[in-house]
Chain A
């Protein structure tokens, strides 16, 4: 790759990295595995960068690779990650996050308890802001399947969100 393309890649990755890491974390529920998935995704992106930037929707392309890597990692029998010595002390602060650790924990736990398919649909639709069509493409399923999984996931999470709202009121 040429130097200007390298710069484009670093610029793109630098901006998207925190959110991609959070997306992977929500998908798999483990920070180590999330790093593994994101690294594999973005390394693959570099290899195909020229083709990727020509795509209509680069973010959709990246999410598609990431979901495939997530599935591949499960197939590969993941968790061979060793964190280096350069991990920041504090967790990434989510933009706009308040101090309600309990509230976030409740939703995190509820998200983790979802079946993997529902969790992936919910994360891609409502955190990564993919459309129904893009989510279906990323997961390799039909739009009808995305809609039904969304409905089920929302119904399950409604309870957790209601508890969060209840605590906010009290």
Chain B
């Protein structure tokens, strides 16, 4: 080993990391839950299982807004598994020429446009499926990650220039770079967009992490100049609906506190919170929002809010919710919930399934992978439910 290498080893040794929340015992519990869930699913074999838990769905139609209420599922004993609904037809998406594998990472509300990626090393190569036909988008930068598409086929995402990411909009075959306010900013986590083409994201001063001194940004449809949203200090936004409702949450010293819905003027309302819990809203569509519910060290549960009433439903499965459709279906990392119950999403040969998004037409998109391959090839799929 030469002197440079030795010096680097010593330098890296001296770098301290911020505190971690992880402990060996809680990881053991998380591992046990994962094993149980896998076994429960294997045992189900696509057939509905009996459950002692009762999922109480928020009424689908509320004529008059009611005061916010909390409706919590009755938790089944840990030895039971939630009922699994059947009835989704899986289809593999075609790959574009030259792709060996890919993932489908999101879908527009109509189900017509699906975005996804394959990758080279750690860099994303963007793919847009229109009516099931894949097309590679231009590789404007070394890495181009699509994160949202609307029903007009307009796409937005993150491009990596050097070692810095910026937000772009892709429309009519052209990329437009979204400008950030003066100064050097790191945008996070990723842009989301509504049907009109309005985009929201957060930004923290370059060099910060964990959202320190962050601001929230809004780009109106067709524009590339950011407007800073007048939100409380540390508030972060994650999604915007067609009526301009922006969902996200408040933070205190970098720790998420409560899910909120704001308008562009900063007028906000706190969404219902189960007793003793903390919440954040991560996605919204129509009258519905989803996100997470955290209690102490427990793993997150998925939350479903009715934005008209503010009421929350706690779903019986690992959260948080990452995506929601206009009929209140919720997508988490490994499950899709319809009317509060998990859907049975299958893939050939016992492949593991990773749902990512759902349209208002009940089209679930995601990918599947041979179990235990830890990053092996992915097959992009759709499930029509």
A104 to B23, CA, bound (A): 26
> Does A136 lie at the interface of the complex (its beta carbon under 8 Å from any beta carbon of B)?
no
* Chain B residue, CB-CB nearest to A165: B7
Candidates B5, B11, B122, B297; contact of A84 at CB < 8 Å: B297
- In B274-330, the 8 Å CB interface with A consists of 278, 280, 282, 292, 294, 296-297, 300, 320, 322
**CB contact under 8 A between A117 and B24, given known A71-B375, A109-B207:** no
Give the interface residue-count category, chain B.
35 or more
Q: B131: CB under 8 A from chain A?
A: no
Q: Is the interface of B mostly helix, strand, loop or mixed?
A: mixed
> Which residues of A come within 8 Å of B, CB atoms?
1, 6, 9-10, 13-14, 17-18, 21-22, 25-26, 29-32, 34-35, 38-39, 42-49, 51, 64-65, 68, 71-72, 74-80, 82-98, 100, 103-104, 107-109, 111-117, 120, 122-123, 126-127, 139-141, 154, 157-158, 161, 164-165
Query: Which B residues are in CB contact (< 8 Å) with A139?
Result: 121
Given contacts A30-B210, A64-B374, A82-B294, contact A22 B15 (CB under 8 A): yes
How far is A87 from B20 in the complex, measured between Cα atoms in Å?
6
Q: Once bound together, how far apart are the Cα atoms of A161 and B15, in whole Å?
A: 13
B186 → A minimal CB distance (Å):
9
List the interface of chain B (C-beta within 8 A of A).
4-5, 7-9, 11-25, 27-28, 30-32, 34-35, 38, 103, 105, 117, 119, 121-122, 124, 145, 147, 162-163, 188-190, 207, 209-210, 254-256, 278, 280, 282, 292, 294, 296-297, 300, 320, 322, 333, 356, 372, 374-375
- Max count, chain B CB within 10 A of own CB: residue among A31, A45, A96: A31
Q: Is the CB of B12 within 8 A of A84?
A: no
The 8 closest A-B CB pairs, nearest first, are A46-B31, A68-B375, A79-B189, A31-B18, A82-B256, A25-B17, A14-B24, A13-B24
With contact pairs A75-B117, A82-B255, A154-B4 given, residues A39 and B16 touching in the complex (Cβ less than 8 Å): no
Across the two chains, which residue of chain B brings its CB closest to A98?
B14
Residue of B with least CB distance to A42: B27
Would you call B17 and A21 a contact (CB within 8 A)? yes
A94: contacting residue among B13, B23, B297, B374, CB under 8 A: B13
